[in-house]
Amino acid sequence: GENVEQHPSTLSVQEGDSAVIKCTYSDSASNYFPWYKQELGKGPQLIIDIRSNVGEKKDQRIAVTLNKTAKHFSLHITETQPEDSAVYFCAARDTGRRALTFGSGTRLQVQP
């Protein structure tokens, strides 16, 4: 089955700096890659996703890149703000399966 690895497990940045979180996946059939943000006491919230026919997608301060050959994808947050502090999860899904396989999460802390 699919295996998703996520790095780093924790990340601390200064407000205004950029943050990058990286994930690798094992199943070359995976074609959908969402990212979730989880704040304390809440459920994971979908913040951006990318499909395998696209190499990059951007939404304001967040962007996701996908390298299908290397089987890795990354989340980029620019101009970080304290409210970006949360746990971020990457995930992958293949065409034959409805369920997502999640990475282990990255705790991002933005220092004011």
Partner 1 sequence: DAGVIQSPRHEVTEMGQEVTLRCKPISGHNSLFWYRQTMMRGLELLIYFNNNVPIDDSGMPEDRFSAKMPNASFSTLKIQPSEPRDSAVYFCASASYEQYFGPGTRLTVT
Interface residues toward partner 1, by CB under 8 A: 32, 34, 36, 42-46, 49, 89, 97-100, 102, 104-105
- Rank residues 80 and 94 by Cβ distance to partner 1 and give the closer one: 94
The CA-based angle 59-64-78, given to 5 degrees, is 60
- Rank residues 33 and 74 by Cβ distance to partner 1 and give the closer one: 33
Nearest distance in Å: CB 29, partner 1? 16
**What is the SS3 assignment for 56?**
strand
Nearest distance in Å: CB 73, partner 1? 16
- Rank residues 2 and 71 by Cβ distance to partner 1 and give the closer one: 2
Nearest distance in Å: CB 33, partner 1? 12
Please state, in angstroms and rounded to a whole number, the distance separating the CA atoms of residues 54 and 41. Answer: 33
Kind and range of the H or E element at 5?
A: strand 4-7
Nearest distance in Å: CB 79, partner 1? 25
Please state, in angstroms and rounded to a whole number, the distance separating the CA atoms of residues 13 and 16. Answer: 8
Q: Taking a C-beta distance cutoff of 8 angstroms, is the pair 56, 9 a contact?
A: no
- Rank residues 50 and 80 by Cβ distance to partner 1 and give the closer one: 50
